[in-house]
Amino acid sequence: MWLSLLAAVPVLVMSVFRAVGGEWPVLVVQLLAFTPWLAVPAGGALVLSLFGRRRWPQLVAAALLVCQLFWLFPLDIARPRSAAAAAPAASPAEQQPPATVELTVMSINSLFGRADAATIVRLVREKKVALLAIQEHSQGLQDGLAAEGLDALLPHRISQPTDDGAGYAFYSSHPLEPVGLLPDTPFLMPTVRLTAGGSVGGGASAVLELTNVHTLPPVDTRVGQWRSDLKALSRLAERPGHRLLMGDFNATYDHAEFRNLLHAGEERLVDVAAASGSRLLPTWPMDGTRLPGIAIDHMVTSPRVGSSGYQVHRVPGTDHAAILATVAVPAA
């Protein structure tokens, strides 16, 4: 019984923090990122309790395991809302598939530009990536990508390389237009507007606003800035139009701050990985650090932007995985 309680107590404590979405201290915020792994000690507590004669430890352990399973497979995950569902009802003869533009998009935190340029370009070529977002972009990485032929694959670029982790880059096969920077964030988080021709609907085009996300990590006294960064993204997400936020959020679905972002605006935003059933695929750490893997890199879309084919790929030289997906943007 005592072994069961020893396993159950930390699960119980963290379950309270997970259930109550307060502004917790930095250590709690960091531990909450690993909430999916609490299912392991919760299951162990239940197994150990079965060897005892008392019923209440079994009930407690079973309740904790149910909580963990509920959070592992939440019922409130938002999914894309099709343009057809938003349009007025039409007769069967008038119904036509909504015109969309499909784009394969990819994001990677390059760890101060140390990510292997050859691997990035290979993924772009093999996966037919139309838009690449890079965080912690450096001049060295930009030169390496050019040497590997990325400019020929994605000729449109908006970038600001730095040596301190604040840099960013967008590479695209479609024209890009700068919109602006998110204010009051230590890492640069720009928004650009991409315009692409439609594959159906008589040459219609689609417009997508993309934000390269890199929030400050929630460490030591910077947890307040981390919350401020996520709130700033929430305000950005409230704007009208078709939108994609992608990059290193330094937050997981188990952080109330990230879930609040998904609830910004009149309609809920869509976490592409969660909507595809891949929420638990880890994106960090990928460099051999002895920590359980968690998903802190995300693609978040406005509800009428469809998504499919979410993938995670290791890239040598960085502790973050590259994330890819295909988004379907309603055409004008």
Under the banding of pLDDT at 50, 70 and 90, the label for residue 239 is confident
Question: Distance between CA atoms of 111 and 90, rounded to whole angstroms?
Answer: 51
Q: d(Cα 263, Cα 88) in Å, to the nearest integer? A: 25
Query: What is the DSSP code (8-state) at residue 234?
Result: H
Q: What is the pLDDT of residue 76?
A: 81
pLDDT above 50 for 11: yes
Report helix, strand or coil for 78. Answer: coil
The yes-or-no verdict on residue 1 having pLDDT over 80 is: no
* Contact predicate 114/286, CB 8 Å: no
How far from chain centre, in Å, is Cα 130? 18
Say what the pLDDT of residue 214 is.
98
pLDDT band at 95 (very low <50, low <70, confident <90, very high): low
Per-residue pLDDT at 288: 82
User: Residue 258 has which token pair?
Assistant: 């990230």
Q: Which pLDDT does position 82 carry in this prediction?
A: 61
Determine the average pLDDT of the residues in 218-224: 92
3-state secondary structure of 168: strand
Report the C-alpha gap between 289 and 285 in whole angstroms. 6
**Phi, psi (rounded to 5 degrees) for 74:** -65, 150
251 pLDDT higher than 80: yes
Torsion of CA 233, 107, 192, 304, to 10 degrees: -70
97 vs 305 pLDDT, higher one: 305
CB 258 within 8 A of CB 315: no
| Percentage of the chain modeled with pLDDT above 90 | 74
Q: Which residues lie across from 195 on neighbouring strands?
A: 207
pLDDT digit string (tens) for 43-81?
998 888 888 777 887 888 899 999 999 999 988 898 987
pLDDT tens profile 162-219: 999 999 999 999 999 999 999 999 999 999 999 997 544 456 789 999 999 999 999 9
Sheet containing strand 176-181, edge to edge, reads: 176-181, 190-197, 205-214, 243-248, 297-301, 270-271
Residue 246: both structure tokens together = 């992608």
d(CA 271, CA 46): 32
DSSP 215: P
Residue 148 to residues 110, 129, 173, 238, Cα–Cα distance (Å): 16, 15, 16, 38
Residue 6 — very low, low, confident or very high, per pLDDT cuts 50/70/90? confident
Give 238 or 281, the one with higher predicted confidence.
Answer: 281
For residue 181, what are the β-bridge partners?
A: 190
C-alpha span between 232 and 184 (Å, rounded):
9
Find the range with the poorest average confidence among 47-51, 128-132, 235-239, 282-286.
47-51
Where do the domains of the chain lie? 2-72, 95-330
Q: What percent of the chain is modeled with pLDDT above 70? A: 92
Residue 185 identity (one-letter amino acid): T
Mean pLDDT score across all residues of the chain = 90
- The domain 95-330 belongs to what CATH superfamily? Endonuclease/exonuclease/phosphatase (3.60.10.10)
The predicted structure's pLDDT at residue 64: 92
Mean pLDDT computed over 240-246: 95
